[in-house]
Amino acid sequence: DVKVTQSSRYLVKRTGEKVFLECVQDMDHENMFWYRQDPGLGLRLIYFSYDVKMKEKGDIPEGYSVSREKKERFSLILESASTNQTSMYLCASSSFGGNQPQHFGDGTRLSIL
């Protein structure tokens, strides 16, 4: 089974802090994704990566950056956290191609105070 592991289930940070969310997958997948999930809004794509050091913006990239230095690891960075970034963050991975099923981690619930 594919396993996607997110480093923290719950995280509390303060406004203005730099925040790192880490995600690791163990199936040698080319594609990795970061979403945020908010009540009533479903899942919204922040960034995705189709290869090491490659990234593409999703629907809501503002205020976020990403890093993919190794194939198995995809990091989401909040450069200067703000309260409107309080949310559930979900990482996913899939094999190459736009129609491959995505495998999700269990999420990080991030609170910015």
Q: What is the contact surface with other proteins in residues (CB under 8 A)?
A: 4, 33, 35, 40-45, 50, 56, 58-59, 90, 92, 98-99, 101-107
Q: Report the residue number, 53 or 98, with the smaller CB distance to other proteins.
A: 98
Q: What is the DSSP letter of 53?
A: T
Quote the least distance from Cβ 47 to other proteins, whole Å: 11
Length of the chain: 113
Is the Cβ of residue 9 or residue 18 nearer to other proteins in the bound state? 9
Pairing of β 10-13 and β 108-112: parallel
Q: Residue 7's closest CA among 28, 21, 27?
A: 21
